[in-house]
Structure 1
Amino acid sequence: MVFIFGFHFDDQRLVKASLETFYGIGPKVSQRIMARHYIHPWAKVGSLKNNTLMNLTADLTSMKIENDLRREVQENIRRLKDMGAYRGRRHAMGLPVRGQNTRTQIATARRLNKIERGGSGRVQM
């Protein structure tokens, strides 16, 4: 087991896949991080040296990921709701925010926005 940024990873897991498990790190960002630390795209976590792991952890601590990023997203949504903006009202109602169709294709938006709103779903004006 290898310890990266407070999480344990199996030795046989790919470095790219383990980096992408963090909230806020996608394929492009993980590719840039690996290139910055000269890590091969198919490298396993168990094959990394301690020095590389320490540098990788230090690099991740300087980024805004996991709880910090989640908190920022929630604050942005709360700010939109408090302002009474159109996007904030759509978040509060659990409807699509970015102009998607509402007649037939809102199942995903309702599922995703339900987590973020937390309240009764009514808009306070």
Structure 2
Amino acid sequence: MARIAGVDIPRDKRVEVALTYIYGIGLTRAKTILTKSGVNPDIRVKDLEDGDVQKLRTALEAFTIEGDLRRQEGMALKRLQDIGCLRGRRHRMSLPVRGQRTRTNARTRRGARKTVAGKKK
């Protein structure tokens, strides 16, 4: 199993797909990396040579991936919460951030229903 950017990528998949296991790399970016590094996207990870793996590592250095990207996203959310803007407050309260309705249809963000007893006479 090849280890690239601190991630064990699966051996039996094509290199193009295996690179998407790295956080911050989708299929489009994986194709870009492979063309820049000159590695054939159709070969399997187990068939990669050491030189190819090294080429991929150097090509990946140009992108923000894995821990750095997670940290960057976390800091962006923390900044929004610290300045107290609407988006930050919505993130803090675990509510939809982009203007969606919450009277109905916000179950994913709000969690399971909390049943309230009906009004008694």
Task: Tell me the matched-pair count.
Answer: 111
Greater than 4 Å deviation, 4+ residue runs: none
Letter in 2 for 1:70: R
Deviation at 1:51, TM superposition (A): 1.3
Alignment of 1:1-125 (within 5 A): 1-110=1-110
TM-score normalised by structure 2 residue count: 0.78
Cα distance in 2 for partners of 1:52, 1:41 equals 11
Gaps of 5+ in 2: 112-121
Gaps of 5+ in 1: 112-125
Calculate the aligned-residue CA RMSD, in Å: 1.9
Deviation at 1:39, TM superposition (A): 3.3
Aligned-pair identity in percent equals 38
TM-score normalised by structure 1 residue count: 0.76
Q: Is the 8 A contact 2:5 2:22 kept in 1?
A: no
* Structure of larger gyration radius: 2
